[in-house]
Structure 1
Amino acid sequence: MLIAFASAKGSPGVTTAVNALGAIWPTDVVVADFDPAGGDFALRHRNAEGEPLDPERGLLSLAAAARRGVTEAAMGEHLQTADGGLEVLAGVTRPEQLTGIGSVWPALGTMLHGLSADVLVDCGRIVPGTPLLPILTGADAVVFAVRPGVEYYAHLRERLRWMAEPLQIGRAGSTPVGIVLITDSSDSSSTRDLDRLLQHDGHQVAVLGRIADDAKAAGALAGRWNRRIDRSLLIRSARELSESIRALAVTRTRISARS
């Protein structure tokens, strides 16, 4: 399955959430960095030898292969294994590098679907006119990350209104949309409040839960601390959330299998 993660405003923690989920995902998984503003995964991670990941081997090399009509079977050539075992499809380091990808975005989505592993795609901030629309509409689920706050909720509502048509939200066979809150582990009310707000506005999306705002564990994932984080609030919250996200995506997967 292919699950796209995005934000409606700023940097609420999409990359950290995808990183944490990838670290504990219960099946084989690939993390793909498609952030149009420039990805962080190749900068954050090292391989088993301690060397930086190669930013030219990933989205850029895969897009070049897609233009040549390379089949899904060759996907492994564009993946890199980060220290710890996470399979990564590195993103661009500069926004202007996306200009050469253009028309192959739909082919990239098809190739990702062809993998035997689940794919978690970091789409970064989504705005009208985003080149990632084929990835979002082709995903088995789209998950928006948001922080508590009036300004974050306002931008999320506007983005959901814009995405309602391309994702066919509320229609049969639509792309399921979920919301994840990046918030303090003691925050027990924000998920409930946001769910009420979205339901009041008529948005047919699911508030799935929260990822703990755990700066030290997030830094450890990014290689800045030498610290075991298996029992951190970040990883524990990711484990709790992963099944809800997978269940959301399975909804569309089953519909596609029957059609």
Structure 2
Amino acid sequence: MTTLALVSAKGSPGTTMAALALAVQWPRPVAVVDVDPAGGDVLYRVRDEAGGPLDPDRGLLSIGAALRRGAGETTLADHLQETAFGFPVLCGVPSPEQLAGIGGAWVHLPQVLTDHPGDVLVDAGRITTSSPVMGLVSQADVVCAVVRPDLEGSAHLRTLLRSLQAPLRVGQAGAPQLCVLAVTAYKDTAAVPDLQRLLDHEGLPARVVGALARDDKGARLLSSARVGSVARSVLARSAIEPVERLAATPTRQPGPTGLAGRS
């Protein structure tokens, strides 16, 4: 199965909203996993099957506690919560201070995601090479940088992609696929080709897979602020094209590091 890690460089391009929008259109069983070290948003944005709030005690903290008791004693499914959108989620930590509760469990999380029978969309939030989630991101099949394609966003994207090349072993066998997803106006047809030309000019080996529309109404539908049909929103409809490309990306193969590939 496929593990896709969504990351950002700086600002608020919307990795959580991107993960949720992609999950709405994902063609296979999928779970959204919130590991944002700055504090996760899934807990506050998503409703459970009955339309109520999610359980804050079930998620990254509970899986961390289970893994501390012993690797292999828990599965991702044990800590997922079903949602009103038809896919399960793993709630992240409400605040960065609670990251200490995860401890050494970070090293076991990649295998837990690998063992999950469905695809996994990981919301890793803003990331640096010293981030505690870097090890998890480096073992994903696909790493997708979410960016607002303005001047500032493009500059931070270039810096991020350069910094990721070494920890992701870009260009080596077994490295994750590196992609970019733009978040821009619905009718902005220039963002994707412009970003790809920029990356090609800079010699950055990343593929721009499409764009998500900035859609306040759709964003509210993917939160507790409004009830309605998410799939018909501009946001969700804009996710169809990038989902087709991301879901079809081949899973990584074993490389010289000896890491297992995905089936």
* TM-score interval, normalised by the smaller of the two chains: over 0.9
Please report how far the alpha carbon of residue 106 of structure 1 lies from its aligned counterpart in structure 2 after TM superposition. 2.2
In the alignment, residue 252 of structure 1 is paired with which amino acid?
A: R
Match of 2:28 in 1: 27
Match of 2:172 in 1: 171
TM-score if structure 2 supplies the norm length? 0.92
Match of 1:88 in 2: 89
Q: How do 1:109-258 residues align onto structure 2 when only pairs under 5 Å count?
A: 109-248=110-249, 250-252=250-252, 257=261
Change (3 A) 1:211 1:58: same
| 1:14-49 per-position Cα deviation (integer Å, ceiling 9, x unaligned) | 111101111221111110011111111111222223
Deviates more, 1:114-123 or 1:163-172: 163-172
Is residue 141–residue 176 contact of structure 1 (8 Å, CA) maintained in 2?
Answer: yes
Alpha-carbon distance between aligned partners in 1 of 2:130 and 2:228, rounded to the nearest angstrom: 40
Match of 1:40 in 2: 41
Alpha-carbon distance between aligned partners in 2 of 1:84 and 1:246, rounded to the nearest angstrom: 19
Please report how far the alpha carbon of residue 174 of structure 1 lies from its aligned counterpart in structure 2 after TM superposition. 1.7
In the alignment, residue 191 of structure 2 is paired with which amino acid?
A: S
Please report how far the alpha carbon of residue 7 of structure 1 lies from its aligned counterpart in structure 2 after TM superposition. 0.6
Give the SS at the match of 1:211.
strand
Cα RMSD of the aligned pairs, angstroms, is 1.9
Provide runs of 4+ in structure 1 moved above 6 Å.
none
Q: How do 1:39-118 residues align onto structure 2 when only pairs under 5 Å count?
A: 39-71=40-72, 74-118=75-119
Give the SS at the match of 1:107.
helix
Give the SS at the match of 1:81.
coil
In the alignment, residue 132 of structure 1 is paired with which amino acid?
A: V
Please report how far the alpha carbon of residue 65 of structure 1 lies from its aligned counterpart in structure 2 after TM superposition. 0.8
Give the SS at the match of 1:177.
strand
Is residue 148–residue 182 contact of structure 1 (8 Å, CA) maintained in 2?
Answer: yes
Please report how far the alpha carbon of residue 85 of structure 1 lies from its aligned counterpart in structure 2 after TM superposition. 2.4
Please report how far the alpha carbon of residue 228 of structure 1 lies from its aligned counterpart in structure 2 after TM superposition. 2.2
Alpha-carbon distance between aligned partners in 1 of 2:65 and 2:74, rounded to the nearest angstrom: 15
| Matched pairs, number | 258
TM-score if structure 1 supplies the norm length? 0.93
Give the SS at the match of 2:248.
helix
In the alignment, residue 252 of structure 2 is paired with which amino acid?
A: R
Unaligned runs of 5+ in 2: none
Change (3 A) 1:191 1:84: closer
Is residue 82–residue 88 contact of structure 2 (8 Å, CA) maintained in 1?
Answer: yes
Is residue 173–residue 254 contact of structure 2 (8 Å, CA) maintained in 1?
Answer: no
In the alignment, residue 10 of structure 1 is paired with which amino acid?
A: G
Alpha-carbon distance between aligned partners in 2 of 1:205 and 1:177, rounded to the nearest angstrom: 5
Alpha-carbon distance between aligned partners in 1 of 2:195 and 2:242, rounded to the nearest angstrom: 17
| 1:201-233 per-position Cα deviation (integer Å, ceiling 9, x unaligned) | 111110111111111111111121223232222
Change (3 A) 1:72 1:118: farther
Name whichever structure is richer in helix by fraction: 1
Please report how far the alpha carbon of residue 72 of structure 1 lies from its aligned counterpart in structure 2 after TM superposition. 6.5
Give the SS at the match of 1:127.
coil
Change (3 A) 1:70 1:106: closer
Please report how far the alpha carbon of residue 51 of structure 1 lies from its aligned counterpart in structure 2 after TM superposition. 2.7
Please report how far the alpha carbon of residue 237 of structure 1 lies from its aligned counterpart in structure 2 after TM superposition. 1.4
Please report how far the alpha carbon of residue 191 of structure 1 lies from its aligned counterpart in structure 2 after TM superposition. 1.0
Deviates more, 1:80-89 or 1:118-127: 80-89
Give the SS at the match of 1:80.
coil
State the percentage of identical aligned residues: 45
